[in-house]
């Protein structure tokens, strides 16, 4: 009968309209990786969210962030600076979350004033800290075994040189004892080193003391000069903030045992550029191995990068299959929360 046909058509049109409304609501979540660096972060996250219809994952060059962030709902800063001038253009932004720990490039106060939650992914338990710890050991061994010298010997077809040094019996000092330090200490212990650490936060007491069982000495900021004087290898694993920026300066390096090595798997600006170069040239430092630099990427012709006593890796300490797959899953869940119009599971700024 005609009225039945009309009813079916009305029901069909209602379903189509409802589906269109649902799709228009779903298709509004734009995820922006702010920079073309660390491409595997975007790639792994895209794979994680492949079946989540309506979530669009994209990336842009740093210089295009100000334009691309205008309609973004989730921003992953990577190496980009998200300051107030950028954030004031981000009218749709519901979350800033780092693919990792570092939020140095985010103006958290400006985000808080704009009521934008800021979050990151902890290094502990995600594979990130463990990956950085393994890389720190690689850098130590590369320095002690003279990686540059070995490369030169291969080119010259020389055998039996250069002579290397062993970790066994070395005094190693960790500056900072957070996620990376806690992963690095037990991995270093089997090498037969004497391991110490210094940090600003109070050291644990009670049952938590067992977590520091591989450390022979634990100190605070006031103990640093004396501890440096006994150190063969100092490893930077601390956070970068205004109190630690440039901390590896002339005073720090003059307190260090002459001929020591410096390893950095934290942040480049922890080191004073000129002071480190002077220490390399006068022999106070036997060598530096760093995964991070002051400007990234560093120009390979820069006098620091080209120095014969320096090893530089391209900020890949935390870039491993374990860390990136795990962090992509964590990030994916946080993006889904925003997609469902739920608050993030954690944030570093409160409002």
pLDDT tens-digit readout, 202-238: 987 754 455 556 899 999 999 999 999 999 999 999 9
% of the chain beyond a pLDDT of 90:
87
Reference 173, options 119, 238, 105; nearest CA is: 238
Given a contact cutoff of 8 angstroms between Cβ atoms, the answer to whether 299 and 273 are in contact is: no
Cα–Cα distance for residue pair 147/142, rounded to 1 Å:
5
Given a contact cutoff of 8 angstroms between Cβ atoms, the answer to whether 126 and 327 are in contact is: yes
Given a contact cutoff of 8 angstroms between Cβ atoms, the answer to whether 331 and 97 are in contact is: yes
Given a contact cutoff of 8 angstroms between Cβ atoms, the answer to whether 311 and 142 are in contact is: yes
Q: Which of 29-43, 208-222, 322-336 has the lowest mean pLDDT?
A: 208-222
- Per-residue pLDDT tens digits for 121-156: 999 999 999 999 999 999 999 999 999 999 999 999
Radius of gyration of the chain (CA): 25
- The β-bridge partners of 319 are none
- Per-residue pLDDT tens digits for 263-302: 999 999 999 999 999 999 999 999 999 999 999 999 999 9
The two structure tokens encoding residue 307: 């120095």
Look at residue 240 in the predicted model and tell me its pLDDT: 93
- Phi/psi of residue 340, each to 5°? -85, 5
Reference 240, options 268, 198, 202, 262; nearest CA is: 268
């Amino acid at each position: 009968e005609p009225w039945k046909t009309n009813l079916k058509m009305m029901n069909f049109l209602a379903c189509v309209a409802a589906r269109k409304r649902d799709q228009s609501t779903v298709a509004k979540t734009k995820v922006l990786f702010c920079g073309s660096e660390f491409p595997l972060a975007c790639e792994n996250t895209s794979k994680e969210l492949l079946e989540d219809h309506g979530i669009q994952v994209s990336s842009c060059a740093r210089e295009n962030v100000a334009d691309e962030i205008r309609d973004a709902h989730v921003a992953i800063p990577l190496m980009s600076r998200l300051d107030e001038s950028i954030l004031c253009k981000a009218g749709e932004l519901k979350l800033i979350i780092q693919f990792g720990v570092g939020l140095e490039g985010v103006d958290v106060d400006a985000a808080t004033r704009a009521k934008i939650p800021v979050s990151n992914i902890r290094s502990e338990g995600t594979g990130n800290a463990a990956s950085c710890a393994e890389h720190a050991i690689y850098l130590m061994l590369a320095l002690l075994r003279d990686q540059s010298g070995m490369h030169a010997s291969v080119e010259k077809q020389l055998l039996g040189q250069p002579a290397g040094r062993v970790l066994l019996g070395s005094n190693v000092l960790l500056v900072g004892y957070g996620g990376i330090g806690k992963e690095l200490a037990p991995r270093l212990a089997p090498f037969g080193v004497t391991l110490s650490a210094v940090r600003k936060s109070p050291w644990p007491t009670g049952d938590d003391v067992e977590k520091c069982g591989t450390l022979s000495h634990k100190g605070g900021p006031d103990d640093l000069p004396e501890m440096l004087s006994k150190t063969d290898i100092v490893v930077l694993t601390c956070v970068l903030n205004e109190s630690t920026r440039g901390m590896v300066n002339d005073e720090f390096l003059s307190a260090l045992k002459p001929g020591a090595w410096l390893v950095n798997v934290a942040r480049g600006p922890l080191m004073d550029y000129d002071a480190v170069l002077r220490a390399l040239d006068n022999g106070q430092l036997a060598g530096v191995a760093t995964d991070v630099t002051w400007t990234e990427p560093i120009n390979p012709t820069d006098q620091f990068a080209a120095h014969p006593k320096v090893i530089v890796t391209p900020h890949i300490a935390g870039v491993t299959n374990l860390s990136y797959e795990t962090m992509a899953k964590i990030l994916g869940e946080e993006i889904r929360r925003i997609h469902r119009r739920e608050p993030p599971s954690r944030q570093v700024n409160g409002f």
